[in-house]
Structure 1
Amino acid sequence: MLVEDTPPSVGQDHRRAGILLHLTSLPGTGPCGDLGPGAHHFLDFLTDCGVTVWQMLPVGPTQTDYSPYQSSSVHAGNPRLIGLEPLVQRGWLVPDEWEAAKTSDAGKANALRTAHRRFRQQASPEATDAFARFAEQHDYWLADYALYRALREEAGQPWWRWPEPLRDRDDRVLAQARRRLANDLDYIAFEQYLFFDQWQHLRDHADTRGIRLFGDMPIFVAHDSAEVWARPRDFDLHPDGSLRVVAGVPPDYFSATGQRWGNPLYRWDAMIADGFQFWIDRIRTQFQLFHLVRIDHFRGLESYWEIPADEEFAIHGRWVKASGAALFERLNQYFGEIPLIAEDLGLITEEVETLRRRFRLPGMKVLQFAFSGGAANPYLPFHHDRDSVVYTGTHDNDTTLGWYRSLDRAERDYVDEYLGHPREPMPWPLVRCALASRSHLAVVPMQDILGLDSTHRMNTPGTCHPTNWQWRFDWTDIPPDLPTRVLRLVDLYGRRVG
């Protein structure tokens, strides 16, 4: 039996439709979208549309550029995503404090500190016990993360520039730091308790709606992160913690000089030696949050692009073999079959494809990549297999309307001819094309659902553009008839569940 004719392997018991929208892009009163009422309202919108998958970007703590793919922890939640309205409802903030916190990240941080003080002063025994249980259940990562962050804020420097005893985790010095920073550690743990508690409420609401939360897991870890400080043996570093080599990709569709991401690379020998504990812990956390998870840059688990740390650009790198097969064997042994999706875009070799198929991980089909190279292009819909996820575009692409307008006349004519010279304006013909695909899951970015142009793009890879990761929509952007229109298409292409 051919692989493409086997049943879907990611728990997709039905053909489904999804929308891609990061939490920060939700409407709301704060500096970015969060886990407050707006997130729950969006679940109701998805239900009205017949959409049963909500895909979002990574939700870990971001750094100064707000990129979700450069996080200071692979486990912690981003404090920016904590909703303040639920804290008012619980009596840990008063309305005036919430109002004062709306305009900036600094205001929200101050409000969270206030909520922590009030929690310690007046929380019920039930809430106090829930916090204690959370800290105990998440101790496999929370203690290291809290100490890393408290020390990072105290030093104002990345961990490899700390005094040597702290950098190298001297037990005596760390014990002193825990005593000195006890209140900060308690606050950071409380912050994570709020995030995970609010997330659980969102997931419970999603479950009642029959909606699956679809997460995104960056393959690599930020150098300045709790995990690299706590587990340096797992990363290819110099003894002083500085980078020896870094991750990236060679020249591709997005960049003529490649992309130098700057993440440390793994020491696969060390990970094999301890049974891939780093990855087991990571997967455990991801599936506390999400029903299914995409592995970003999956091809790096077969071979990765290694760049000398002193190189400015990615072009002078080399391919190095990874231990992805051993990793997935271990994960399957530990967890059983888990619903992972492989981001298999870019330069994909037969070895990468073999790894993906061996472990029955669905790949991605992006329609904006489909209309070059003629009928052999693997992203054209008639090449799609059922065990895949089809997109009009991703967070790294232009919006579909912006992409279509950027095509030259010949390219646009080819797209129009392939799609049957549709009467509907873009992006709807490509949305229909995605929903009609054989792929069991079709995901459309919210920008395409709203028919938005290039000014609403989420990210331009390889750039530090100030608008990257900043896009938000407003509820007034949604025409009254939009849910009915989307629901009709979901029905028409057999993607309605229930």
Structure 2
Amino acid sequence: MLRGFGVLLHISSLPGGCLVGDLGPSAYRFADFLSEAEATYWQILPLSHTLPEYDDSPYSAASLLAGNPALVSLEKMAQLGLAKRAPPSCPPAERARFAEAWELKRRYLEEAFEGRLGWRDYEEFAARNSWWLEPYGRYMALREAFGGPWTAWPAWARRPNADLPPRLERRADFYRYVQFHFWLQWEELKRYVNSLGVFIIGDLPIYPALDSADVWEGQRYFKLAPDGAPLYVSGVPPDYYSPTGQLWGTPVYNWAELRRDRYVWWTRRLTRLLSIFDYIRLDHFRGYAAYWEVPYGEPTAVRGRWAPGPGEELFRAAEDALPRLIAEDLGFITPDVVELRYRLGIPGMRVLQFAWDGNPANEHKPHNYERNLVAYTGTHDNNTTLGWWREETTPRSRREALAYMGGCRGGVSWCFIRLLFSTVADVAVVPMQDALGLGSEARMNKPGTARGNWKWRMAGDPPRAVAARLRRLARIYGR
């Protein structure tokens, strides 16, 4: 990756839009902000179709490949001549309101669908993407009819190749049509962002949710019982921070079955995502070396076991993708994970918030960085730097950080940004909340909590002074 810096901000956190940040004008203004700051990268979270039952987490989505309908911009629909009427004046929303946004936008999209607006282009889009779009549409139509997850559906509907009644087939076509709008708008935005010299970093969750088109359509690629219930679910083992581990609850892969098919199911998804992003962050990279699986029904992750992942063989099946991958190698990292990343030659991740434990050998301390890294003040799973400093650090760790930086003037967030920019890591990424100096009220996600996450939004377009400050640091440190 080119030496430079980026900003982490999900589309839903943009200002403007209708009840949630979307692919409309504010996304283009944010791209202009990045250009003015002379940023090289814009990192986002998965664009996937989120569900209110799972707090609209982009990591528990209805599909790894389908865009989130709530992020479709009604303004862009009108600009492109694909709306039956002018978009409404939406009420302000300090926090993202995904379900309400989709309910409002659904009516406009249904009108466009009934009017067959852009139909020829839609049919071309559907033909090019049929391998994932067809099952996704069927899944959403059945889910609308029977609820979720698919394991509770009638037996006939649990079969992904089942024919649908005409009414449900029409709903399936509607959901496919929504995807046409989403990806049309995304492709236009990406072209604009790239024209400014900015690359987009996307995200691939390691596991799809049980309640997803991916698992429903690819059942034999997961460790499932005959009725579809998982035999094992994902998580991480107990550690210093969590005596019972973390139980994520998604089904785990049947890697032997994937291998028999030369990993085509997985590599097709990776290839598709690399056609819509410039780089991909591989969530929970350690799971590709070995993963923690827990028998289904266990209340915690304590009774899990390590199982071997596919390792290098999986990535050699997608060799051309390697220069555009980033390994999220955080957490319990063993030598086999480090060796896998080095053999593949892909950058890992470091996080400044993890550096202050009194250990000079801590890999998150800047003097231990290498060039082939993407380094962060914090990620979407961390508190903001200011919130972390005020609420989660100890007096000892604060003293250590201040001594390391030689003191701090001008706000702790910017002291950390300066330190991050000064490192040898090829890429430095700053969450937008840190660039704005915000506290824990702006936190995006708190792992281990089921509600109240993924809702933060910027109050307005970022000030030009923030762009100037980032630009100045980027020039000082050759980013």
1:482 pairs with one of 466, 472, 478: 466
Rounded Cα–Cα distance in structure 1 between residues aligned with 2:172 and 2:234: 31
Distance in 2, Cα, partners of 1:252 & 1:396: 17
State the AA in 1 paired with 2:442.
H
Tell me if 1:214 matches 2:198. no
Specify the code of the residue in structure 1 equivalent to 2:406: G
Question: Unaligned regions of 5+ residues in structure 1, if any?
Answer: 1-11
> Is the CA contact 1:27–1:473 (under 8 Å) kept in the aligned structure 2?
yes
Counterpart check, 1:493 vs 2:452: no
1:237 to 213, 219, 224: 224
Match status 1:84 vs 2:74: yes
User: Is 2:112 aligned against 1:118?
Assistant: yes
Q: 1:452/1:252 Cα in 2 relative to 1: closer, same or farther (>3 Å)? A: farther
* Aligned 1:303-382 pairs, distance under 5 A: 303-332=290-319, 335=320, 337-382=322-367
Residue 289 of structure 1: SS of its match in structure 2? coil
Q: Distance in 1 between matches of 2:414 and 2:104?
A: 44
Which of 419, 430, 444 in structure 1 is aligned with 2:405? 419
Q: Distance in 2 between matches of 1:449 and 1:83?
A: 26
TM-score by length of 1: 0.91
Tell me whether 1:143 sits opposite 2:143 in the alignment. Answer: no
2:138–2:169 CA contact under 8 A, matched in 1: no
CA contact (8 A) 2:328 2:349 kept: yes
Give the letter aligned to residue 159 of structure 2.
Answer: D
Q: Distance in 2 between matches of 1:401 and 1:259?
A: 26
User: How far has the Cα of 1:161 moved from its partner?
Assistant: 1.3
C-alpha RMSD over aligned residues: 1.8
Q: Following superposition of structure 1 onto structure 2, how do residues 174-189 of structure 1 map, counting pairs within 5 Å?
A: 174-175=162-163, 177=164, 179-189=166-176
In the TM superposition, residue 256 of structure 1 has moved relative to its aligned partner by 3.5
Identity over the aligned pairs, expressed in percent? 41
TM superposition shift of 1:149: 0.7
Q: 1:8 maps to what in 2? A: none
Match of 1:446 among 422, 432, 438: 432
The separation in 2 between residues aligned to 1:365 and 1:157, in whole angstroms, is: 37
> What residue ranges of structure 2 are gaps of 5+ in the alignment?
none
How much has 1:429 moved relative to structure 2? 1.1
Q: Structure 1 residue 152 and structure 2 residue 111: aligned? A: no
Shift of 1:84: 0.9
Partners of 1:108 and 1:317 in 2: CA distance: 38
- What are the equivalent positions in structure 2 for 1:6-405 lying under 5 Å apart? 12=1, 14-64=2-52, 65-93=55-83, 97-99=87-89, 105-106=99-100, 108-121=102-115, 123=117, 127-169=118-160, 171=161, 174-175=162-163, 177=164, 179-252=166-239, 255-332=242-319, 335=320, 337-405=322-390
Per-residue deviation at 1:51? 0.9
Kindly provide the CA deviation profile for residues 222-274 of structure 1, in whole angstroms up to 9, marking residues without a partner as x.
00111111111000000110111100112346533221100000001100001
1:415 and 1:336 map into 2 onto residues whose CA distance is 37
CA contact (8 A) 1:367 1:430 kept: yes
Aligned length: 472
> Which residue, out of 425, 435, 438, partners 2:421?
435
* SS of equivalent to 1:459: coil
CA distance in 2 between partners of 1:78 and 1:272 (Å):
30
Q: Residue 442 of structure 2: which of 445, 456, 473 is its match?
A: 456
Structure 2 length normalisation: TM-score? 0.94
SS of equivalent residue, structure 1 residue 72: coil
Amino acid at match of 2:301: A
Offset at residue 193 of structure 1 (A): 0.3
User: 1:122, 1:111 → 2: CA distance?
Assistant: 16
Give secondary structure in 1 for the equivalent of 2:271.
helix
The residue identity in structure 2 corresponding to 1:459 is N
- Does the 8 A contact of 1:29 with 1:102 survive in 2? no
Q: Is the 8 A contact 1:140 1:281 kept in 2?
A: no
C-alpha distance in 2, partners of 1:314/1:95? Answer: 51
| Structure 1 pair 372–102 and aligned structure 2 pair: CA distance change class (3 A) | closer
**Structure 2 counterpart SS, 1:481:** helix
Supply the AA of the counterpart residue of 2:421.
L
- Could you say what secondary structure the match of 1:60 adopts? coil
Shift, 1:480, TM fit = 4.2
User: 1:475 aligns to what SS in structure 2?
Assistant: coil
Sort the Cα spacing of 1:253 and 1:443 in 2 relative to 1 into closer, same or farther, 3 A. Answer: farther
